[in-house]
């Protein structure tokens, strides 16, 4: 009875909404429908939403995401550049559409023709020594041709020999939340930058099925050296904690099975023993 009284002071009929409203918290607009007609893989940014809104992410891929927990690196990019109206940083984040308003207040999807795409080769590495210099070096950076590398954290990157030319290509062929595939073509060894968040504790890189190291570029993105020729490049999310947890679960299940079988066998043996004693 006490719980009912307390609950009614905090939760009442006004706190409940229809099932439809819960399953569709946002209404699709004409702009959303227009963007969905583009079947490519890209991101959408709505400057009016800021960093906390999840509306864009409900309908499209966005740089903010749908979860309340946001990557710290992306928050830094917002604080340093996007909140200050410096939208050139959107190019390396593969933002193809920016939702804007015209003079009459009507919303429309403006196309960003300078978006770098899902991945690209760069011709120059700009070396810095710490994270502060790394994010500041993005100011005015030609992200389509240059990449910023923190050589204090990734010490071997500055030893790479690489070249790129107009025939170089890299294309996203398959996209899953935990598995991305690309095809790269380059006459020489090159440095490719991927418009995906770098996370060293789970994401592994592969070239033609063989594991290869990758590193962080432009403060938040992934990059790696690719050999000359045509290759299949993959990123797989394979966190060790999941692998270890699976092994523990399997071992626990097997142990539980053995205990159950042992218990059944012991009960059967005890029953047979009792029958013999009675005879």
- Residue 218 has a CB neighbour count (10 Å cut-off) of 27
DSSP state of 79: H
CA distance 182 to 167: 16
Q: Which fold has domain 119-237?
A: Immunoglobulin-like (2.60.40)
Helix residue spans in 81-196 (DSSP H): 131-136
CA distance 12 to 117: 49
Dig out the tokens for 176 from the structure: 């899953």
Task: List the pLDDT tens digit at each of the 279 positions of the chain.
Answer: 888 888 888 887 777 776 666 667 788 899 999 999 999 999 999 988 877 778 888 899 998 877 777 788 999 999 999 888 888 899 999 999 999 988 888 999 999 999 999 999 999 999 999 999 999 999 999 999 999 999 999 988 877 789 888 889 999 999 999 999 999 999 999 999 999 999 988 999 999 999 999 999 999 999 999 999 999 999 999 988 777 788 888 889 998 998 998 888 888 888 777 777 765
CA distance 195 to 143: 11
pLDDT number for residue 113? 94
* Mode of pairing for the β-strands spanning 210-212 and 124-128: unpaired
- Residue 262 has a CB neighbour count (10 Å cut-off) of 10
CA distance 117 to 6: 54
Return the domain boundaries, the chain. Answer: 2-111, 119-237
Closest by CA to 221, choosing from 90, 79, 47, is 90
pLDDT number for residue 246? 80
Does an H or E element contain 136, and which? helix 131-136
How far CA 53 is from CA of 26, 41, 247, in Å, comes to: 11, 21, 38
DSSP state of 85: T
CA distance 137 to 126: 8
pLDDT number for residue 111? 95
Closest by CA to 51, choosing from 72, 78, 89, 81, is 78
Yes or no: say if 86 and 140 are a contact pair by the CB < 8 Å rule: no
Location of structure tokens 């939403």: 49
pLDDT number for residue 19? 66
* Residue 55 neighbours by CB under 8 Å, 6+ apart: 26, 46, 49
pLDDT number for residue 279? 59
- Residue 107 has a CB neighbour count (10 Å cut-off) of 14
């Amino acid at each position: 009875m006490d719980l009912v009284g307390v609950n009614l002071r905090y939760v009442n009929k006004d706190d409940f909404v229809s099932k439809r409203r819960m399953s569709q918290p946002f209404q699709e607009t004409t702009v959303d429908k227009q963007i969905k007609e583009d079947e490519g893989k890209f991101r959408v940014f709505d400057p009016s939403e800021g960093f906390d809104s999840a509306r864009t992410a409900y309908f499209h891929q966005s740089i903010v995401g749908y979860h309340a927990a946001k990557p710290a690196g992306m928050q830094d990019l917002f604080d340093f550049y996007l909140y200050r109206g410096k939208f050139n940083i959107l190019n390396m984040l593969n933002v193809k559409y920016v939702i804007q308003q015209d003079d009459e207040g009507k919303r429309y999807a403006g196309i960003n023709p300078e978006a770098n795409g899902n991945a690209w080769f760069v011709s120059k590495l700009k070396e810095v020594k710490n994270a502060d210099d790394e994010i500041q070096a993005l100011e005015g950076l030609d992200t389509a041709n240059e990449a910023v590398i923190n050589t204090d954290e990734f010490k071997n990157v500055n030893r790479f020999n690489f070249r790129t030319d107009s025939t170089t290509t890299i294309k996203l062929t398959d996209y899953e939340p935990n598995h991305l595939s690309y095809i790269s073509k380059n006459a020489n060894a090159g440095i490719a930058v991927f418009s995906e968040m770098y996370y060293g504790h789970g994401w592994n890189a592969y070239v033609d099925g063989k594991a290869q190291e990758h590193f962080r570029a432009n403060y938040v993105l992934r990059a790696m050296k690719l050999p000359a020729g045509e290759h299949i490049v993959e990123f797989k999310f394979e966190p060790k904690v999941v692998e270890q947890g699976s092994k523990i679960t399997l071992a626990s299940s097997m142990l539980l099975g053995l205990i159950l079988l042992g218990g059944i066998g012991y009960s059967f043996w005890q029953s047979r023993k009792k029958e013999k004693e009675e005879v």
